[in-house]
Amino acid sequence: MMRDDKHDERPIKPDVGAIAGVYVLDDQTDTTREQMTQTAAAVAAGDLQAITAWLEPERIRRLRQMTAAHRDEVAHWLGLLGNVRGGGKRVTELRRALKARADDLPDAVQRGDVGADLPKGWQDPKPYICSAAGLYRDTEQGAVRITSRPIWIDQYLSEVNGAGDALRICWRSFGGGIVRRIVPRAVAASSRELVAELATHGASITSVSASDVVRYLDEATTKNEARIPRRDVSSRLGWIYRDGEPRGFLAGREYIGRPDDPGVDLMSDDGVESLAAAYGTAGTWAGYLEEVVRPASSSAAFWLSTYNQIASVLVRPLDLGTPWFIDRSGRTSQGKSTIGKAAAAVWQDPRAVPSWNTSKAGVEARAATLRDLPLMLDDSKEARRPDDVAAVVYMHGNGTGAIRGKPGSNGRAVGLRATEKWSSAGDSSGEQRLTSFTQDAGARARVLCLIGSPLASGEVARRVQLGAETHHGHLGRRVVRHLLAGDWGDLKARFADESKRLTRALKADGAVAERLGRIVAALKVAAYLVHAVGVPEPECDVWAAALASCRHGSEDADQPLAALRYVMQRCAAERARFWHTGCEKPAAQDPAEDERLYRPVHGGFAGRWNHEKSVDILEYVVREWLRRGGFDEGTIERWHESGYIETTASSRGRTVRTRIAGQTASVYRIPMSMFERYA
Ligand SMILES: Nc1ncnc2c1ncn2[C@@H]1O[C@H](COP(=O)(O)OP(=O)(O)OP(=O)(O)O)[C@@H](O)[C@H]1O
Ligand SMILES: [Mg+2]
């Protein structure tokens, strides 16, 4: 018979030669044999029904297995039954059924077929049997088929960021190949979700069999704990931590670890994969030095942007504080974007640097996936709305994404989604300064705006860009290897030292300059690393340029004053809207004059002009103007603190009461001295 031929072709695995459906099993053979004996006895005693009972599909199947392994024994048994009076007809039926069924059953399948695919030493959890013909459950009545194709686990994956463990579930596909799919443990534990996940990808699982499969997978995981290979995976790039210490680094798909580290794989997820694809290497280290670093070496912006790429991955391990941005702004075609590309070449293919034309949610997902790697955004002019730029700078600076709700569980109406986190440095370019998109004073302390023409000529720009596209991904990896072999304590001390020195140097330049000093300190530590791994020293005074940027940054950082100036300018421009002294008691005897004084003012009264003394502006008008000017409401409180507005003992919310056209009104009062000093 066919089956026997097959069996004979596999002399190396004689013991697995059992039979369709089930691999072994002496105890199963014994059970069948025992049942056969019982049947023979029952039939001999006149119970012919006992023969018909073997027509039940499961028993037919087992009988067929028995036939394949012990042909003579079954033949003898059938002969025995057929010899009993009235038994012949039934035995013929049984023989026919045995034959007919045989064609329906899968090819001779052996545990051996699937055995090679299972993890070494795999043991089926009782009462399940994983064979090439499917997954079976052993019952008193014999093995019951659960799935028509085998299914097993070949890897146990631990997500290192705490996103939960996963199993790599494998099954034979329709075409015979093996499909492997990473499924979160939480999904593998729910029959409904497991069906949705696996059936979509072609596994033979149904809502009926799912609960058995769930139990089987769970028990198989436990039983084979020592035999299923474990892998650490990460759905984020950047540093991989273990026990609070950086253990290794995922630069794209490549894991950089210490020699004894078995490694961490990038968790395959479509979005992460496509992002990681850009973070590979191309060209050579020597090529990078020769064609990117050398031509750009006289540009301070190039060096600061390059250091920033390295500083980004120091933020978390050295605890450098909240994320920041560095920004190159200025006229068009000065090489701002080119420098961005040259800097990006530290980690990635510069052609993959995205533009500002993206949504806030998109940036959030990107920053969270890149984790420690710098967030690059080119050309703020491309942003859909200026407000988006401000929102991104603000969000990135917080290091966390938006807090989002989700449908609640356990009786709660709503729950909270885990918020995304990152700790990176940003890199942006554009015609306008990044800080000009927002009036938020806090943003000014977190954006280092580089000034001055970045590159010497268009020719240099072209060379650098071409060089960066050809040679990239080397410097970042070198620094990571250096860091993994080195001493974090030394670098922390360096940062503390630099911070102290810069704070002192920038003290006179105001709070914002002082805070920007932190970024420069981080860049200094990064510079130390960049040159420690073999990049030649710059051919320009990088740090003078950095300090100039800090000082420059503080100059336009006084937002309350900027707001005051803006409001004073509007007062001057809309002077006609102000009621003024001498108007309270109109000369009633002259109707013409009266009319002039009460003539409706275009746009309505804005306030009252107290000559030589102060200007009163209606509360709502100030709020409206601040909003139009892009200043926030907190500005009024800052004005009060800085003494820019006058209040009286009876002031409510920093307003004073005055009379305009015979009516009492709440106004903010700006003394004339402010106009003289600042307008
Ligand atoms: N310093 C420079 N002098 C003259 N031409 C330059 C200079 N820098 C760049 N270019 C030219 O301008 C082109 C655009 O360069 P790049 O994209 O870096 O400029 P950019 O400053 O980002 O300009 P934009 O504001 O338009 O984005 C380059 O291909 C190069 O030929
Ligand atoms: Mg540009």
Residues 428-433, mean pLDDT to the nearest whole number: 91
Of 172, 115, 148, 143, nearest in space to 58 by CA: 143
pLDDT at 211 over 50: yes
Return the ligand 1 atom nearest residue 430 CA: 25
Average pLDDT of the chain to the nearest whole number: 85
Does the predicted model carry a pTM greater than 0.85? no
477-486, 514-523, 560-569, 581-590: the lowest-pLDDT one: 581-590
| Beta bridge partner(s), residue 400 | 421
52-56, 348-352, 370-374: the lowest-pLDDT one: 52-56
More confident residue, 560 or 390: 390
Check residue 4 and give its pLDDT: 44
More confident residue, 82 or 249: 249
Q: Tell me if residue 36 falls in helix, strand or coil.
A: helix
Amino acid letter for position 361:
A
Q: Which of 334, 378, 428, 465 to mutate to test the pocket of ligand 1 (most atoms within 8 A of CB)?
A: 334
pLDDT at 112 over 70: no
Residues 153-159, mean pLDDT to the nearest whole number: 91
How many whole angstroms from 349 Cα to the centroid of ligand 1?
A: 19
Return the ligand 1 atom nearest residue 339 CA: 18
Nearest CA to ligand 1 atom 18: 335
Q: Which of 292, 327, 328, 338 to mutate to test the pocket of ligand 1 (most atoms within 8 A of CB)?
A: 338
Residues 153-157, mean pLDDT to the nearest whole number: 92
Check residue 591 and give its pLDDT: 47
Q: Tell me if residue 472 falls in helix, strand or coil.
A: strand
Check residue 104 and give its pLDDT: 46
Confidence of residue 3 (pLDDT cuts 50, 70, 90): very low
Residues 206-222, mean pLDDT to the nearest whole number: 92
Check residue 678 and give its pLDDT: 76
Nearest CA to ligand 1 atom 4: 458
Nearest CA to ligand 1 atom 14: 333
How many whole angstroms from 429 Cα to the centroid of ligand 2?
A: 7
Q: Where are the alpha helices (DSSP H) in 224-359?
A: 270-276, 285-288, 294-296, 300-312, 336-344
Residues 259-287, mean pLDDT to the nearest whole number: 88
Nearest CA to ligand 1 atom 26: 332
Check residue 367 and give its pLDDT: 95
How many whole angstroms from 660 Cα to the centroid of ligand 1?
A: 56
How many whole angstroms from 376 Cα to the centroid of ligand 1?
A: 18
More confident residue, 165 or 10: 165
Check residue 203 and give its pLDDT: 86
Rounding to the nearest 10 degrees, give the CA dihedral for residues 250, 254, 258, 261: 90
Q: Tell me if residue 322 falls in helix, strand or coil.
A: coil
Nearest CA to ligand 1 atom 29: 462
CA 10 from chain center: how many Å?
A: 50
Confidence of residue 19 (pLDDT cuts 50, 70, 90): very low
pLDDT at 597 over 80: no
Q: Which of 333, 341, 464 to mutate to test the pocket of ligand 1 (most atoms within 8 A of CB)?
A: 333
The 10 Å Cβ neighbour count of residue 612 is: 7
Check residue 378 and give its pLDDT: 96
Question: What whole-number distance in Å separates Cα of residue 352 and Cα of residue 332?
Answer: 21
pLDDT digits (tens, 9 = 90+) for 406-417: 666 666 666 666
84-93, 334-343, 551-560: the lowest-pLDDT one: 551-560
| Beta bridge partner(s), residue 222 | none
| Alpha-carbon distances, residue 13 vs 7, 18, 66, 457, 610 (angstroms) | 9, 10, 18, 74, 106
Question: What whole-number distance in Å separates Cα of residue 445 and Cα of residue 519?
Answer: 9
Amino acid letter for position 268:
S
How many whole angstroms from 428 Cα to the centroid of ligand 1?
A: 15
How many whole angstroms from 461 Cα to the centroid of ligand 2?
A: 11
Closest ligand (CA of 334): 1
More confident residue, 129 or 377: 377
Amino acid letter for position 25:
L
Check residue 60 and give its pLDDT: 82
Q: Tell me if residue 339 falls in helix, strand or coil.
A: helix
How many whole angstroms from 271 Cα to the centroid of ligand 2?
A: 26
Residues 84-108, mean pLDDT to the nearest whole number: 70
The 10 Å Cβ neighbour count of residue 336 is: 26
Share of the chain above pLDDT 70, in %: 87
pLDDT at 23 over 60: no
pLDDT at 517 over 70: yes
* Ligand 1 binding residues, C-beta < 6 A: 332-338, 379, 429, 431, 453, 455-458, 461-462
